[in-house]
Amino acid sequence: MNRTSRIRVLLADVPGVIAPLLVQMIAQQPDMILVGQVEGSLEVLIAAGQGADVVILGAPQLRPPPGIISHLLNAFPTIKVMLFSHREDAAVGYWLGVRRCPVKVVTEQSILADVRRLHMLTPTV
């Protein structure tokens, strides 16, 4: 993977109030590009297959994680998923084999930093 290429970010099921904020934040980053915004599990799977590196997935709560995460990670082993809960003001990162890492309190800067951190994780089997 070329570490100098832009991180392709897909927004999925992100609530209406937060989505425009994330779109604006991503657009301002020279190392990121928004590849789409979708809602619904099938749409997420289809859009992720078009070349997303990181999916920011909105959910009301972090536990239990939505089933779409395991489907994404099975279908696309190199993809990373940031599960974001606006209600809990928190997020969790998932990658290969449903490994996960907690994300600090969600702020504008922490979301961007954690997208970069997730993108840099190297999948190993």
Domains and CATH numbers, the chain: 7-120 (3.40.50.2300)
Share of the chain above pLDDT 90, in %: 51
Answer whether 49's CB lies under 8 Å from 55's CB: no
For residues 18-35, average pLDDT: 95
**Looking at 16-20, 42-46, 86-90, 104-108, which range is the least confident one?**
104-108
Q: Global pTM?
A: 0.81
Tell me whether residue 120 is exposed, middle or buried, using C-beta atoms within 10 angstroms of its C-beta: 0 to 12, 13 to 18, 19 or more.
exposed
For residues 12-34, average pLDDT: 93
Question: At residue 34, does pLDDT exceed 60?
Answer: yes
Alpha carbons 16 and 38: distance in angstroms, whole number: 11
- Rounded to the nearest integer, the mean pLDDT of the chain is 85
